[in-house]
Structure 1
Amino acid sequence: MIDIESNSHVHALAFQLQKLGKSLCGDSFTMVTTDEYFMCALSDGLGSGELANESSEAISQIVNEYHHEDIASLMQRGNEVLKNKRGATVSLFKVDFNKKQFTYSSVGNVKFVLYSPSGKFIYPLPVLGYMSGKPQTYRVHTYPYEKGSKFILYTDGLQVPGVKSILRDFQTIEDISEHLEIYTHTRYDDLTYIVGQLL
């Protein structure tokens, strides 16, 4: 499945495949774009199938409803909604177009990398573990960004070597996605990625 979100400030593309043999994907994502900001969430429910989907989809629903709130509040809401569910690893990414900065927070193994035209890479380290409604520590990182910066968020179903060089060497989001296609064939796990460029 491919979903595209775009305006004059951001161009982003999401791709998703469920684990081979499963009818539901245990990963969920959402992207919301306004004139002021771009918000996206990527979550990986523990395990696979229906219960994993229930957990990850709960995160997407929270972000769709409260995307106007800051990242710290959304992480708290996300953790609370996972009470009595299997749990999920979660990454939230919000770009403020007016301030030319982005905020990021993550618990678990969803990976994030941003590449700036000046050659700088940003990849904040996540908090280990997963969210399940239990008391949780979050790290919220805020960075300035350069026009033209490219980013990727992806779950552990995408086993891709040299992701930094891919962001650096391919010019468009479509080129990056086309290159990643060869890493989507094994389907040993649910797989989701979001690639984008800040314009």
Structure 2
Amino acid sequence: MSSLLIGVAERPLEGQPVSGDAYVAIEDAASSLICVIDGLGHGPEAARASQAAVTYIRGHAADEIEATMRALDDQLRSTRGAAVTIVRVDHVKSELQYCGVGNVTLRAFFRKPAYPVNVAGIVGKRPRRYLTTRHRMEVDDTFVVYTDGISSRWESESAPNGTPQAIASDLMARHGKAHDDLTCVVARMTNGTSPRFGRP
């Protein structure tokens, strides 16, 4: 059975005490859950929205991801709201399940092409719809989930090299925007039955 190896790079907007971005990474024997959240705006109020999402997701990690997204819309109603992407990798089926609202993006470097699509809207402000897609994953397939603190200029680049942590750190160094919070999570499917989820 496979597992995930991940790397993470994150920082707040310069001059802000906290980041409005956040992420969750949870793995059990059969699946891995990754969620990246971008609270609307910057500073403490954006962080309040993203941390409310983190708290809910940690308590409902086993739920279907679209059900989690719909519930988050209620949970964030009293906040500014957030862009949210939720990914579950099923290690039994070798399948990535994806649901995204707003401008937290996933870019996949898979043997079989995969182009997950986000729907427009803000979680907490009643998005018009939700969409869950499924994509085949194989060992060594890699994906990057990132907030708009990473410039879209990197999307013209070919598949990055190195460990997930090296890729995440490099993207932050070369393409991080000085005027925004930033979170970048890189995950690679690996062989092995023992969990290897976490920063290398």
Same fold (TM over 0.5): yes
Tell me the TM-score normalized by structure 1.
0.88
Identify if the C-alpha distance between structure 1 residues 156 and 135 changes in structure 2 by more than 3 Å, giving closer, same or farther.
closer
Which position in structure 2 is the counterpart of 1:94?
88
Q: What residue in structure 2 maps to residue 125 of structure 1?
A: 117
- The 3-state SS of whatever aligns with 1:148 is coil
Distance of 1:59 and 1:102 partners within structure 2: 21
Distance of 1:12 and 1:25 partners within structure 2: 20
Tell me, yes or no, if the aligned pair for 1:26 and 1:56 is still in contact at 8 Å: yes
**CA shift at 1:162, angstroms?**
3.3
TM-score normalised to structure 2 length: 0.87
What residue number does 2:145 align with? Answer: 153
Amino acid at match of 2:8: A
**Aligned AA (1:109):** N
**Partner Cα separation in structure 1 for residue 75 and residue 22 of structure 2:** 15
Aligned 8 A contact 2:37 2:53 in 1: yes
**Which secondary structure does the structure 2 equivalent of 1:95 belong to?**
strand
Aligned partner of 1:25 among 15, 19, 43: 19
1:48 maps to which residue?
A: 42
Shift of 1:28: 1.0
State yes or no: 1:35 paired with 2:26: no
CA distance in 2, matches of 1:9, 1:83: 34
Query: What runs of 5+ residues in structure 1 fail to find an aligned partner?
Result: 1-6
Q: Give a deviation string over 1:126-148, Cα, whole Å, max 9, x none.
A: 11121115364100111111111
Alignment root-mean-square deviation, CA? 1.9
Aligned-partner residue type, residue 48 of structure 1: H
Distance 1:45 1:176, change over 3 A: same
Aligned twin of 1:182: 173
Would you identify which runs of 4 or more consecutive aligned residues in structure 1 move more than 4 Å? none
Preserved contact between residue 8 and residue 169 of structure 2 (Cα < 8 Å): no
CA distance in 2 between partners of 1:56 and 1:112 (Å)? 18
SS of corresponding position for 1:122: coil
Letter in 2 for 1:137: R
1:65 aligned residue? 59
8 Å CA contact 1:81–1:133 kept in 2: the answer is: no
Counterpart amino acid of 2:157?
A: S
Q: Which residue of 2 aligns with 1:16?
A: 10
- Separation (CA, whole Å) in 2 of partners of 1:105 and 1:141: 7
Q: Which residue of 2 aligns with 1:140?
A: 132
Cα 1:137–1:183, aligned 2, differ >3 Å: closer, same or farther?
A: same
Identity %: 25
In structure 1, the residue matched to 2:73 is 79
Please state how far the C-alpha of 1:178 moved relative to its aligned partner: 4.0
> How many residues matched?
190
Distance in 1 (CA, whole Å) between partners of 2:166 and 2:74 is 38
